[in-house]
Amino acid sequence: MKKLLMICGLLFSVITFAQAQDGGRQKMTPEQRAQRSAEGLTKKLSLNEDQKTKATAIFVDQANAMEKARAAGNTDKEARRAEMMKLAEDTDAKIDAILTADQKKTYETWKAERKERMKGNRMGQGPKVGGEQ
């Protein structure tokens, strides 16, 4: 009985250690990332089904383009960053085109808040304690 408990404990430890090595995250496919982005936008802006479908397609295109850019292996960090920023701006314009006037206002506010949070993270402040960001 003791051997069985020790084996179970050891197995549990090995599994826990293995998950800790990769942060417990699984790499998401471009389609999964696009779906997650569309779901988040749907919750934030109360998108209707047609808007959600269009947003998902836009995010799939963006995710595939970003994946392709990463796979190209461009070693110039600034060039890669500029390319990613261009992709994000294009996606932003496409999303903006499918939104209503009220949704656009909420979207702009949300983007400004997100930009401030990201700015704080770059300056070494990191996210606020307690899960607030």
What is the DSSP track for 90-120? HHHHHHHHHS-HHHHHHHHHHHHHHHHHHHH
Half-sphere exposure of 16 (CA within 13 A, CB side): 6
In a domain, 8, yes or no: no
Q: 101: Cβ–Cβ under 8 A, 6 or more apart, which residues?
A: none
Establish if 75 belongs to a structural domain: yes
Q: Report how many domains make up the chain.
A: 1
Low pLDDT (below 70) residues in the chain: 5, 8-14, 16-26, 122-133
Residue 2 within any structural domain of the chain: no
Dump pLDDT digits (tens) for 99-110: 999 999 999 998
Nearest to 46 by CA among 116, 119, 102: 102
User: What value does the mean pLDDT of the chain take?
Assistant: 80
Per-residue pLDDT at 77: 81
Question: Helix 49-71 to helix 77-98 angle, to the nearest 10 degrees?
Answer: 170
Range of the domain at 76: 27-122
pLDDT tens digits, residue range 109-123? 988 888 888 887 765
In this structure, which amino acid lies at residue 36?
Answer: R
pLDDT for 17 equals 62
